[in-house]
Amino acid sequence: MILFDNVTKVYPNQTRPALEDASLEIEKGEFVFLVGPSGSGKSTFLRLVLREERPTSGNVWVLGKDLMRLSNWKIPALRREIGTVFQDFRLLPNKTVFENVAFALEVIGKPKSHIRKVVPEVLEVVGLEGKEGRRPDELSGGEQQRVAIARAFVNRPKVLIADEPTGNLDPGTSVGIMKLLDRINRLGTTVIMSTHDAQIVDQMRRRVIELEHGHVVRDQSRGVYGYAR
Amino acid sequence: MRAQFVASEVGNGLRRNLTMTLAVIITVAVSLTLFGVSLLVRAQVDTMKDFWYDKVEVSIFLCADGSDTSSCVGGEVTRAQRDQIRADLESLRPLVVEIYYESREEAFIRFQEQFANSPIVDSVGENALPESFRIKLSDPTQYDVVASAFSGRPGIEQVNDQRQVLDKFFRLLGGLQAVALIIAIVMLVVTVLLIVNTMRVAAFSRRRETSIMRLVGASNLYIQLPFLLEAAVSAGIGALLAVGGLILTKTIVIDQILAPSFQFTAFVGWEAVLAIAPLLLLVGIGLSAIAAFFTLRKYLRV
């Protein structure tokens, strides 16, 4: 599903690689935590999966495609198979909940009838039924993140990337978001989540990949956040 | 591709960026109007050339008593010389289309008619004007053939091409047209820069939307098309205004002001306006689309 083969990424004008000689494989249907301190290479890893960056050396395979050889015009098709959620939600403030989710379908050219059918479905999955007409500033942080997850999931992607999705939320709300991501994972979507939240990682007991200075220092199924705490 | 979605994006974009949109419309309108007018001037020069070159003649003035040109040292032109000139002119057919001999008397009568209301008439005596051959050429640009064959020959005082007088005038008009064209091109460059800037502002103010579009896998066309269309729509409106300016130039400046005061010459017709108008639309929309395209490649990358 996702394969990193000796991947090194050095950003221009930087000497230290953001990711160095990283090799790992993520199978279909897995739930993977990506942990490590800031600057350890988590974001670079996620950006490489999304093909927002190209590796300096090594190969990245995502959904059977060799991203080194993927031509530019095929990138949108790849991203339609990958949902993305961020710490800062990235909702459009002047659109309602419904419109924010529908936007993701409109811009890839889905017909209106399809949008009218699937948006309410996904809003029900994330637990926002009845709030279709609200704007982001009328919602709590947790609800806003649910909208973002609905937007990422509405096209039923094969992979969901969550970059510190609970970073802006209180612990109680975070648990709800984690339950939602778990549910999405159980619906068959591979979930890759970067996080600093030790409690969540320890509770979930899923695969943990730890990065440090751009190296994979730990890859553990049913792991915990870290030993050195 | 959902047309309605794109159309509403374009409408929103234009409204959100209203001042910049207006600036683009106005600069496009002004620069294209100038461009159109300069093309109209060229069409006008062509029209006048067609009109006048049809009427111009080459005049071969014959020596009169007292002519002081070196070819006239033999005094007044003799009958034999005159007949020889006529025969040589005949041999130049078909370049020479018409040959018309004008005697002194005829020249004087024509002069009197031309300057009927001028005091000059009284100061010119009956024999002051030379006799001449007036000839018409099938191709007026071949004047040199006639000039080299006849000028300096005994009995011929001067070979005169009316076209050369006209050419000075046309060169002046051509110069004016070139100046207008240069200003128009400079204005068009300014317009392109303005469109580039407008696109940058538009791309920046919508970076949230476009970043989400990229993430959910919208194609480049889908992301960029609203911007391209915005540029094309505002440039299109500007170009339409420029076409309006061109039509006004034709109806007011040419038909109502110039044509009544200068009745001796022809003016460009509507067919010139009809030929220029689509060009203005094409240049306006094309320029803006190209400018927008290259800006977007830089600011809205995948």
In a shared domain, residues B59 and B87: yes
Q: Which residues of B touch A79 (CB under 8 A)?
A: 214-217
Q: Give A164's DSSP letter.
A: S
In a shared domain, residues B185 and B60: no
Q: Which residues of A touch B218 (CB under 8 A)?
A: 76, 107-108
Model pLDDT, residue A229: 45
Between A8 and B2, residue with greater pLDDT: A8
Find the mean pLDDT for residues B39-54.
Answer: 82
In a shared domain, residues B204 and B221: yes
Beta bridge partners of A82: A159
B205 backbone dihedrals φ, ψ, rounded to 5°: -70, -15
Edge-to-edge strand list for the sheet holding A19-26: A19-26, A2-9, A57-62, A65-66
Q: Read out DSSP for A178-205?
A: HHHHHHHHHTT-EEEEE---HHHHHHH-
Model pLDDT, residue A127: 93
What ipTM was assigned to the predicted interfaces of this complex? 0.88
- Counting other chains too, the contacts that B111-116 makes at CB distance below 8 Å and 24 or more residues apart are none
**Structure tokens that stand for B12 in this block:** 């929103």
Q: How many CB pairs under 8 A join A and B?
A: 59
For B286, other C-beta atoms within 10 Å of its C-beta total 13
In a shared domain, residues B151 and B239: no
In a shared domain, residues B251 and B120: no
From B163, B187, B215, the end of a domain falls on: B163
Model pLDDT, residue B291: 86
Domain that holds residue B147: 55-163
In a shared domain, residues B44 and B175: yes
Q: Which of A36-45, A94-103, B84-93, B194-203 has the lowest mean pLDDT?
A: B84-93
Model pLDDT, residue A227: 62
Q: Which of A81, A107, A152 sits opposite B213 (nearest CB)?
A: A107
From B163, B189, B224, the end of a domain falls on: B163
Q: Is B2 on the interface with A (CB under 8 A)?
A: yes
In a shared domain, residues B290 and B156: no
In a shared domain, residues B174 and B128: no
Contact A57/A11 with Cβ under 8 angstroms? no
pLDDT digits (tens, 9 = 90+) for B98-126: 888 888 888 888 777 777 767 767 777 77
Model pLDDT, residue B302: 56
From B147, B163, B179, the end of a domain falls on: B163
Between A87 and B46, residue with greater pLDDT: A87
Q: Which residues of A touch B211 (CB under 8 A)?
A: 90
The CA distance from A107 to the nearest CA of chain B, in Å, is: 5
| pLDDT in 10s for each residue of chain A, 229 residues | 899 999 999 999 888 999 999 999 999 999 999 999 988 999 999 999 999 999 999 999 999 999 999 998 899 999 999 999 999 999 999 999 999 999 999 989 899 999 999 999 999 999 999 999 999 999 999 999 999 999 999 999 999 999 999 999 999 999 999 999 999 999 999 999 999 989 999 998 999 999 999 999 999 888 888 765 4
List CB contacts of A207: < 8 A, sequence separation 6 or more: A30, A31, A32, A33, A219, A220, A221, A222, A223
In a shared domain, residues B93 and B233: no
B113: domain CATH number?
3.30.70.3040
Number of domains chain B is built from? 2
- pLDDT bucket at B75, cuts 50 / 70 / 90: confident
In a shared domain, residues B116 and B255: no
In a shared domain, residues B191 and B261: yes
In a shared domain, residues B198 and B142: no
What's the angle, vertex CA B72, arms to CA B70 and CA B78, rounded to 5?
Answer: 155
- Tell if the CB–CB gap between B217 and A90 is shorter than 8 Å: no
